[in-house]
Structure 1
Amino acid sequence: MLQWLSDWFWQERLWFPEGLGWADLQDRDGRVYAKASDLWVTLPIAFAFLVIRQIFERVVATPLASLLGVREKVRLRAAHNPTLESYYCSKSKQPTQSSMESLSKQTGCSVRQVQRWFRRRRNQDRPSLLKKFREASWRFTFYLLAFIAGLAALIDKPWLYDVKEMWQGFPVLTLLPSQYWYYMIELGFYASLLFSVASDVKRKDFKEQIVHHVATIMLISFSWCVNYIRAGTLIMLVHDASDYLLESAKMFNYAGWKNTCNYIFILFAAVFIVTRLVIFPFWIMYCTWVYPVTLYPPFFGYYFFNGLLLVLQCLHIFWAVLILRMAIKFLTNNETVEDERSDRDETDESVEEEEEKEHEEKKMNGPVRNGHPATNNNHHKAE
């Protein structure tokens, strides 16, 4: 059964134009071609990235956070309450008003105290500022190095300047060592992100991030197996061009360098729009959709590859809307750029106001004794 599935999946008519097949990608005459078995190398690379990340975050990112002045917000901890904790863990972190009233009766606390407890308890579960900074610094380092490495690997290649060169001689395109390592390292990194997604900071676009990682891994793997490597290297370079700017903006935001964060974010928004909404669809996708059919009839692999690119482009549009919304808010109102995908800490401002009112009432009514205000006997004799 497994052999039948394997034979069906790898049949040549699915992945190659008519008249071409796997035999054309056999190493010969000193020419080396990409092979599906090479992808196993990405698994140890992914685990190596996980180890390197842990070392980097402790040895590099943590001291850097201290150097840049990353300061943790003081979070008030929720008092130990088994009833509220049980409800929080098993039912809901955001109880309704009726649930609040029911919990108030069960615990003997006021509704306001229950609201305060849940607010503080949710804040306890939110990732710390240091955790966010370390994660951003790790991604910034990789994306920057990957972009530099990709640019160095492609700077002398003709398909960087004329995208039609991606398909000249396809699929008999010799694999270069720089392409091999560029692919393996990129694929290994995205695999490591997928492995660590459970422990990473969860944002509002968590599901979109999962779709992006899976689509990227499938796209890189597929383009490797069927020798779409020239197109793959261009796609990876375009994606790496803006990602490191976003991560650096996050780092400065967490450090409290608001102006620096804002300027870098505006630069990131400009690069993102140009690379993801102009270069990617109108140069790269245009060449993968239109030009190949002038060379050979469409086949399943052609539709599959472009379908994955279309998924990525839909995600680009989704993120572009968020980015433009933040950029417009900053430019029109001169506000600080905030990541709309991140959950913000819930402040105790309303609670603090209530406590201040209670404090003022106590001052007005005098000290409390046994639950009753003490009588003020300090009357002047003239009264």
Structure 2
Amino acid sequence: MDLLPDIWRQDYWLPPGVTWRDMEQLADADRPQPLDLLIALPLALGFVALRYVFERFFAPPMGRYLGVKNRSQKTTAPSPQLESFYTQQTRKPTHSEIAGLISLCGKTQRQIEVWFRLRRNQDRPCQSKKFGEAAWRFFFYLLAFMAGLTCLIDVKTLVLAPQGVLEGVSNTGQLKKAMERAHYWYYMLELGFYGSLLLRISVDIKRKDFKEQVIHHLATIFLLIFSYCANYIRIGTLVMLLHDSSDILLESAKMFNYGTGWKKTCDALFVVFAVVFLVTRLVIFPSKIIHTTLALSMEVFEPFVGYYFFNILLMVLQALHIFWAGLILRMVYKFLKGKLEKDERSDEESEIEEEEEDKGGEENADHGDYCWERSKDTLNSKLSMLTNTCVLNSFSNQRASVSDRMRKAQ
């Protein structure tokens, strides 16, 4: 029963010399309190409902304007045995499992493989669904970025002189700056949004970096909670602002990528996104943010539990930044070489989509029977034409030979 009070021990959350009483004594100003975080739960549910309304009524007309079209899909033949195996066991059966299905449903190995590939493609998310998700995130990141700018009017000064983010704690251990209401609502909206992403993670499109995205969301939520309770509001706002700046460009590039006739716009936005991402997350974030919290903060207070916890989470984010930067740089290299065939960005392609995107892979196999039947018909037609031609030529040569013999006999 004493575990819960121990969680809020001041030596865990606050630097040495700073107590919860110091925060309570802030006069005529709002102060961060752990109970304030409870409002993030209804906000997360509100974001889920608002997102449903947006994707249901607003995203479709926007998609039609940009030329977003769903691709036609070939449906599978009804097979209760295969459908039951697909839904209850696995979507990708092994060779031994296929051998057991051959005797069960009376199909050949080739027919079973094609059936499963077509069935997986039926579950592939359509273009309109992907556009709706990208549009929703684009508008939120845009509004969040503008809200962050209003919270940090002196953001330029903070980036150039990051020690300014430590103004919340002085050498005497007294808090110098109180939380403003704008920071409070900015924090709660960001926390509610990332909470809604976790609530919908089971129904959203699964990307190649699904695990990395989950780690990113959890690290972000813990950072928001800790920085709010410890009154690291200014540096937390700056971290979110840097992240939102590149996310806006990424989501806008994806929106135009799903439409038709916007390739040049998509390429231009992606190039700008790559530059902003690399500068903000590989240059500013480690050299300004992490350096400030890890090294410069020691000039203000001594290390404590929250110091290590906070910097570990920031380093987790930086490791994810490096991972995603590698994918982006690989795309940029292929883009400059003119060999870019598909998007390799961290949040662009899913495992299901790769089955269709890979030209040498499963998409050709999905339509193998159809292509074989069509090729066989074409081949039979050509063989018939060739046979008819040979027969006609033989008959014509025979008639010519008979005519020559008749003329010689006359």
- Write the distance in 1 (CA, Å) between the matches of 2:178 and 2:204: 38
Q: Based on CA coordinates, which of the two structures has the bigger radius of gyration? A: 2
- 1:187 is aligned to 191
Q: Deviations over 1:248-303 (max 9, x none)?
A: 11111111322221221111111000001110011011000011111221111111
Contact 2:168-2:232 at 8 Å conserved across structures: no
**Which residue of 2 is the match for residue 199 of structure 1?**
203
Q: Deviations over 1:323-370 (max 9, x none)?
A: 11111111112535514551325364341432222223443577xxxx
The alignment status of 1:354 with 2:378, answered yes or no, reads no
Farther off after superposition, 86-95 or 121-130: 86-95
Distance 2:158 2:379 in 1: 75
Other-structure match for 2:165:
166
Matched-pair contact (CA < 8 Å) for 2:141–2:244: yes
Q: Distance in 2 between matches of 1:338 and 1:18?
A: 48
Greater displacement, 266-275 / 46-55: 46-55
Within the alignment, does 1:53 sit opposite 2:51 as a pair?
yes
Which piece of structure 1 moves more, 305-314 or 155-164?
Answer: 155-164
1:239 deviates by 0.5
Equivalent position to 2:216, from 193, 212, 217: 212
Cα gap change, 1:228/1:348 in structure 2, threshold over 3 Å: closer, same or farther? closer
1:70 paired residue number: 68
- Residue 91 of structure 2: aligned partner: 93
Name the structure 2 match of 1:284: 289
Say if 2:323 is the partner of 1:324. no
- Contact in 1 for aligned 2:29/2:180 (Cα 8 Å): no
Does residue 229 in structure 1 map to residue 233 in structure 2?
yes
Unaligned runs of 5+ in 1: 367-375
TM (norm. structure 2) is: 0.85
- State whether residues 11 and 304 of structure 2, in contact with CA within 8 Å, keep that contact through their aligned partners in structure 1: yes
Cα deviation, residue 50, structure 1: 1.1
- Asked whether the equivalents of residues 116 and 348 of structure 1 are also in contact (C-alpha less than 8 Å), the reply is no
Which residue matches 1:267? 272
SS in structure 1 at match of 2:73: coil
Indicate which of 157, 180, 184 corresponds to 1:176.
180
Structure 2 alignment gaps of length 5 or more: 357-361, 399-410
Offset, 1:308:
0.7
CA gap of 1:339–1:253, structure 2 versus 1, over 3 A, is farther
Bigger shift: 118-127 or 338-347? 338-347
CA distance in 2, matches of 1:69, 1:93: 32
What is the distance in 1 between the residues matched to 2:26 and 2:258? 54
Spell out the pairing of 1:303-322 with structure 2 (5 A cutoff): 303-322=308-327
Change (3 A) 1:305 1:340: closer
Structure 1 stretches of 4+ with a deviation exceeding 6 A read 379-383
CA distance in 1, matches of 2:69, 2:115: 24
Deviations along 1:221-261, whole A, 9 cap, x unmatched? 11000101111011000110100111111111111322221
Q: State the distance in 1 between where 2:345 and 2:317 align.
A: 20
Structure-2 separation of matches of 1:361 and 1:113: 21
TM-score, scaled to structure 1: 0.91
How many residues of Structure 1 are paired with residues of Structure 2 in the alignment? 372
Residues 40 and 259 of structure 1, relative CA distance in 2, 3 Å threshold: same
1:125-164 per-position Cα deviation (integer Å, ceiling 9, x unaligned)? 1111110000000001101111122112212365354210
Distance 1:298 1:119 in 2: 56
Q: Deviations over 1:169-207 (max 9, x none)?
A: 416121112111111111111111111111111111111
Q: Greater CA deviation, 355-364 or 251-260?
A: 355-364
Q: Which residue of 2 aligns with 1:373?
A: none
Q: 1:339 to 1:136 in 2, by over 3 A?
A: farther
Q: Cα–Cα, structure 1 residues 364 and 100, in superposed 2: closer, same or farther, change >3 Å?
A: farther
Q: Residues 183 and 219 of structure 1: is their aligned pair in 2 closer, same or farther, counting only changes over 3 Å?
A: same
Deviates more, 1:227-236 or 1:49-58: 49-58
Identity percentage over the alignment?
46
Name the aligned partner's letter for residue 240 of structure 1. D
Deviations 1:69-105 (A, max 9, x none): 1011100011111121122223321222343344234
* Alignment partners' CA distance in 2, 1:131 and 1:168: 44
CA RMSD of aligned residues (A): 2.2
Matching residue's letter, 1:358: K
Residue 28 of structure 1: how far off its partner (Å)? 3.8
Stretch moving more, 231-240 or 144-153: 144-153
In 2 relative to 1, CA 355–27 (structure 1 residues): closer, same or farther, beyond 3 Å? farther
> What does residue 363 of structure 1 align with?
381
Query: How much has 1:59 moved relative to structure 2?
Result: 2.3
Greater CA deviation, 10-19 or 283-292?
10-19
